[in-house]
Amino acid sequence: MGEQPAGVAGKRRLRTVIIVAVVAVAAYFGGRALGLWGADDGRLKLYGNVEIREVQLGFRVGGRIDRILVDEGDMVKPGEVLARLDTRPIDDRLAGADARYEAASASASRDVNGLRPQEIGSARAAVTAAEARLAEARRQFDRRRALVDKGFISRADVQTAEAEVQAATAALATARNQLSLAEEGVRAEDRAASAATRNVAEAERRAVQTDLSDAYLIAVEGGQVLTRAREAGAIVQPGQTVLTLALTQPVRVRAYVSGADLPKIRPGMSVTVSTDGTTQTWPAKIGFISGVAEFTPKTVQTEQLRTDLVYRVRLTVEDPTGALRQGQPVTVHVPASGKR
């Protein structure tokens, strides 16, 4: 009567085994969560966010927007035209600048080349004619001076002939000076001045050409359009934001490491990055470790609240599909081996 049936004893033993197993499993996983088991395996977790990389795009010149060729959410490539201004005012300025440059260039070329042979020939002919007039004036003066002594003409006629000789002499000197200038060409100072005028006109034309190219808003880097701040027809000032572009490649993560864990990482180390809500991981490399300590930012969420000094780490993530979003919290898994 004091002995228990075999079935009852077996059930008690089974119940005891189950209870022990449950306690063991709970102790194991609880210890892992508290860092009691496997805490010294060398693996490290860092916490951070995908960096927000945005650029505010605007025209360097003011004007009226003619067209905006992209919309919010569109992916753009480097060199793609995103928007453009009405270029008619700039085209008119360019036409005027072209005309001024052509005129200044023609003047500079004329000064360098000098007078044409026909103009020099005309100057020589003018000297010959002046010499002939002077010879005739002297002949008339000599004839009248001989006649005045005989009383055939008055002394006033002689004085008139003498004045004509002086005028012919002056005209000959002027003609000879004009021939000398024609043969010598333009002065060096005048050539330098005309060349400078041409350079000013050329610089003005280049400036207008630059304004014309700046009337097209071109993506320097690839990315995604986040905001379309202006619409076609709007008048914008230079530098006013028209589009906001998120730079999607390369994907960069900013994480933080404590001073105690700093020796476990180094630039160029291969790591993996994960985020909440998915089991997918992304390969990454540590590219930069700050040499200046700072307090843990409020945006970094870890298992335990840390107030110790940390060091900023920047990583480059391979994410060709664009699954990671800017500002998204991520976890960086540093392998125990620390292989590159």
Q: What is the pLDDT of residues 287-324, one digit of tens each?
A: 888 877 777 665 555 545 444 678 888 888 888 877 88
Is residue 105 located within the same domain as residue 4? no
Say whether the peptide bond before residue 320 is cis (omega within 30 degrees of 0). Answer: no
Residue 97 lies in a domain: yes
Q: Is residue 72 pLDDT above 70, yes or no?
A: yes
Least confident among 59-63, 241-245, 269-273, 335-339: 335-339
Is residue 21 located within the same domain as residue 126? no
Is residue 26 located within the same domain as residue 106? no
- Distance between CA 91 and CA 300 in Å, rounded? 53
DSSP label of 296: P
pLDDT band at 274 (very low <50, low <70, confident <90, very high): confident
Pairing of strands 241-246, 251-258: unpaired
Structure tokens at 259: 């001073």
User: According to the model, what pLDDT value does residue 3 have?
Assistant: 52
pLDDT band at 206 (very low <50, low <70, confident <90, very high): very high
Least confident among 52-61, 120-129, 145-154: 145-154
Q: Which residues pair with 281 in a beta bridge?
A: 274
pLDDT band at 1 (very low <50, low <70, confident <90, very high): very low
Which of 178, 210, 242 is the last residue in one of the domains?
210
What is the pTM assigned to this prediction? 0.58
Q: How many CB atoms lie within 10 A of CB 225?
A: 20
Residue 3 lies in a domain: yes
Q: Please, are residues 247 and 324 in contact by the beta-carbon 8 Å criterion?
A: no
Is residue 175 located within the same domain as residue 104? yes
Is residue 100 located within the same domain as residue 28? no
Residue 59 lies in a domain: no
Is residue 110 located within the same domain as residue 202? yes
Structure tokens at 48: 């951070």
| Residue listed under structure tokens 């000098």 | 114
Residue 16 lies in a domain: yes
Give start and end residues of each alpha helix (H) in 215-332.
Answer: none
Give start and end residues of each alpha helix (H) in the chain.
Answer: 6-33, 88-113, 117-150, 155-184, 188-214
Is residue 34 located within the same domain as residue 135? no
Q: Please, are residues 62 and 236 in contact by the beta-carbon 8 Å criterion?
A: yes
Residue 156 lies in a domain: yes
Structure tokens at 130: 């002046």
Which of 179, 210, 241 is the last residue in one of the domains?
210
- Distance between CA 292 and CA 250 in Å, rounded? 24
At 187 the three-state DSSP class reads coil
Q: How many CB atoms lie within 10 A of CB 219?
A: 20
Is residue 22 located within the same domain as residue 119? no
Q: Please, are residues 289 and 311 in contact by the beta-carbon 8 Å criterion?
A: yes
Instruction: Give the residue from 325, 340, 323, 334 showing the smallest Cα distance to 255.
Output: 334
Residue 32 lies in a domain: yes
Burial class (CB in 10 A: 0-12, 13-18, 19+), 169: middle
At 264 the three-state DSSP class reads helix
Residue 105 lies in a domain: yes
Arithmetic mean of pLDDT, 266-271: 87
Is residue 36 located within the same domain as residue 98? no
Residue 57 lies in a domain: no
State the total domains in the chain. Answer: 2
Expressed as residue numbers, the domain containing 24 is 1-40
Is residue 114 located within the same domain as residue 186? yes
Question: What percent of the chain lies above the pLDDT cut of 70?
Answer: 78
Which of 184, 210, 236 is the last residue in one of the domains?
210
User: According to the model, what pLDDT value does residue 293 have?
Assistant: 72
User: According to the model, what pLDDT value does residue 7 have?
Assistant: 59
At 271 the three-state DSSP class reads strand
